[in-house]
């Protein structure tokens, strides 16, 4: 967070452009732009790391277009079919490995 704040301060206090700050600090210009925007909108809290902080149900970014009940049911059924096939494949592999080990021991 200190390097983000330093970059933002150089941009705001010294009047350097995004490109110059990026070049001076060896940081992508897009990062400088984002940090300045976050700082202007949220202050220091805008510069805190946000990745990986949302855990649990109903956390994180919400869907732009929530699924209808029917669409959700279709999605869940498809997911169940996929998981059933994956489980069968996994179990077949485990049986094959057990047979291979059993035959190798004899």
What span, in angstroms and rounded, lies between the C-alpha atoms of 96 and 94? Answer: 5
Low-confidence ranges of the chain (pLDDT < 50): none
Q: Quick check: 18 and 8 in contact, CB under 8 A?
A: no
pLDDT of amino acid 5: 87
**Confidence (pTM):** 0.47
Q: Quick check: 36 and 26 in contact, CB under 8 A?
A: no
SS3 63: coil
pLDDT of amino acid 15: 83
Find the Cα–Cα–Cα–Cα dihedral 78, 83, 88, 93, rounded to 10°: 140
Give the Cβ contact number of residue 32 at 10 Å. Answer: 25
What span, in angstroms and rounded, lies between the C-alpha atoms of 90 and 22? Answer: 49
Q: Quick check: 47 and 39 in contact, CB under 8 A?
A: yes
pLDDT of amino acid 94: 93
């Amino acid at each position: 967070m200190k390097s983000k704040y330093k970059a933002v301060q150089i941009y705001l206090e010294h009047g350097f452009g995004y490109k110059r700050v990026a070049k001076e600090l060896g940081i992508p210009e897009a990062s400088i732009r984002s940090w300045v925007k976050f700082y202007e909108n949220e202050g220091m809290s805008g510069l805190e790391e946000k990745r990986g902080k949302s855990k649990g149900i109903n956390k994180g970014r919400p869907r732009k277009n929530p699924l209808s009940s029917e669409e959700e049911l279709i999605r869940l059924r498809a997911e169940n079919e996929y998981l059933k096939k994956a489980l069968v494949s996994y179990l077949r592999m485990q049986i094959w490995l057990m047979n291979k080990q059993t035959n190798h021991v004899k």
